[in-house]
Chains A and B, each alone.
Chain A
């Protein structure tokens, strides 16, 4: 029962790596939200494991696919990026699966894809009922996902979206994506042998809308100086957004989180005190998940709090709940506005504008371009982004070349050294 063990292992890894880290916080005033996120994620993985044991429906989706439509069909969406993110806490696991994938595909394919391929080739993950992803942001997804579905013989669906979103997402472009969403719905109906339950979809989307509303309010509070969130808080909540949006548990969590954060801001309390918080960092691309202690290092050594993170820069609009068609259109629109899809799956402006806006809103002192080596499209604009960010905000950018999951490419020590040099050159003057 290899696949069952893996799911259990993922959960324990999640606990072991992240919970240990959060538990090691000793700073006075440090918030206690982290474990709540971990509990929700642990429950999510437990449910997945239980579902796999029962032989029920699981969909593999990637970060660019909103999970709500699957919850509406009572299909648990396994966000496959969360597999890589979770396994990365234990580098032995990453090495095992990445190297296994290297036997079949080139090394320069994204580690995120290689991990899922490696796990699948090893037979250590249950085959899904379907795999779904949008046509953005990258070629690595486009080339490996259909191939793995062909290899393992499970249904596959890609939600095609126009590339030039600004120009092409006219009503016609949106209708095209809406058509894609309806095709997906019909596939899910066939797979589950149930018709779309409109009331259930509406309930899920209500939860999703409420979550987004709360997230935006929390994001506004996070702009405060000192920042009420620590570096890890923004990182861990990304997982919730990817996997659990549309569930009431997330609404409940965010309601609590909003109240706590609001109270802290009203009292002018931060994750660190105003004196301790010396620098505010905005991660304008990826952020490494192979060693979470990096964020702690930055906080302790430099008083540098990671206050904003591109992957958590969720700026969607509420979805119109008036009809199934409007709800599906809303999900389609949401796909185009999700982080990564927005920044990597379109033209340069689609990257730059939200990055500049995020740096400005969060009053960042520096921008960190956590450049995942496999993200070729964004490495192609890294230099321009750095120049433009400086031109528009006066903020310097550190371009880190690393694999977000696999520290064999750039080790934690090397990352720390790059930060040390950057701080010395630009921030400690």
Chain B
């Protein structure tokens, strides 16, 4: 099995072979929603951080009891999976107040299934990127660390934490290398394949992932690049952009996704955690200072700039701005990003969708029209 095949298997199955092997050793798994959860802390406790998603969710009957029709379908689907048993292999779930939808999942799980997960924790994530907010975030993740230690009866020493940061930084370096390959005129992998790599990175132990990723990078050197595409795209927007079918839809029509500024993508690994004396402070700083989500109110200019820089360095022909319906954070932000992209003569296609991927025909028509508009 090639590394790409193995990573795809991991990305595709909720309970991959790697996860089963981990659990078979009696080790713990903690799910997390939102990329502002510092995975390094879990890893240092020898706990597998597992990003909660709900790919393949086709029914949200249980979640609909709690969520209303005005809540986003990504959060609804995640809640469904948390309640209906899909995630019974988790020993806990960590949240942040990332958005108005996901921050309510912990409230609902606590009420609906108070004993299902031994560990439930919410880290307060600031809404600003300042020295003081970094201090507050550090306080939050310090409490998170302590609760993990207490709940799972482990000690997270500085040595373990430093090692975890190094393993994660290596992962970041390797992923950037992978993205570097996508800058070429003939990228060696599709957007869909890349997505599977990213998804796999969020559900298996990082050291195992790094081994596989090194193997993949070696394999890609031998792979023929893709040349039969009409246009190069960057994807940005809401969380929940984790469906390979969505990428297929774009790429089957001749588009090629060559980069992204997603939270399940480049934003999580673009900058390393710079180790300073204070390890938790270093983590807090790196997580808040990396390319931000619109939940950070002082990141408006930086977000547009990051998108523009990525467009330029990946030689992008157009931007696909993906939003989940009812996502206020990305919905409200589109105005500024649209304006800045227009000023830079970068075409943008705004696609609003539901997580379960209904209305594929409509999306296909719009992508096709966009390709025609930009001359692809």
Contacts and interface: CB of A to CB of B under 8 A. Distances in A.
Interface of A: 104-106, 108-110, 113, 135, 138-140, 142-147, 150-151, 158, 160, 162-164, 167-168, 172-173, 176, 179-180, 347-348, 371, 373-377, 379-384, 388, 401
Contact of A147 (B104, B122, B332): B332
B368 interface: no
A108 B127 contact: no
Contact of A106 (B103, B135, B334): B334
A113 B332 contact: yes
B329 A142 contact: yes
Contacts of B125: 163
Contacts, number: 154
Contacts of A348: 104, 107, 110-111
Given A164-B124, A173-B136, A348-B111, A143 B66 contact: no
Contacts of B345: none
Secondary structure type dominating chain A contacts: helix
Given A143-B294, A348-B111, A380 B68 contact: yes
B335 A377 contact: no
Contacts of A383: 65-66, 68
B258 to A, nearest CB: 27
Between B75, B100, B294, the greatest number of chain A beta carbons within 10 A of the residue's beta carbon is seen for B100
Contacts of B331: 105-106, 108-109, 143
Nearest to B76: A380
A172 B137 CA distance: 12
A146 B65 contact: no
B236 to A, nearest CB: 14
A113 B111 CA distance: 32
Interface of B: 65-68, 70-72, 75, 97, 99-101, 103-104, 106-108, 110-111, 122, 124-128, 132-133, 135-136, 139-140, 143, 294-295, 297-298, 300-301, 323, 325-336, 339, 352
Given A158-B297, A162-B136, A163-B122, A381 B107 contact: yes
A144 B70 contact: no
Nearest to A145: B297
B70, B104, B143, B298 interface centre (most CB from chain A within 10 Å): B70
A381 B108 contact: yes
B66 A135 contact: no
B233 to A, nearest CB: 21
B339 A384 contact: no
Contacts of A377: 100-101, 103-104
Nearest to B350: A106
A382 B104 CA distance: 11
Contact of A179 (B70, B132, B329, B352): B132
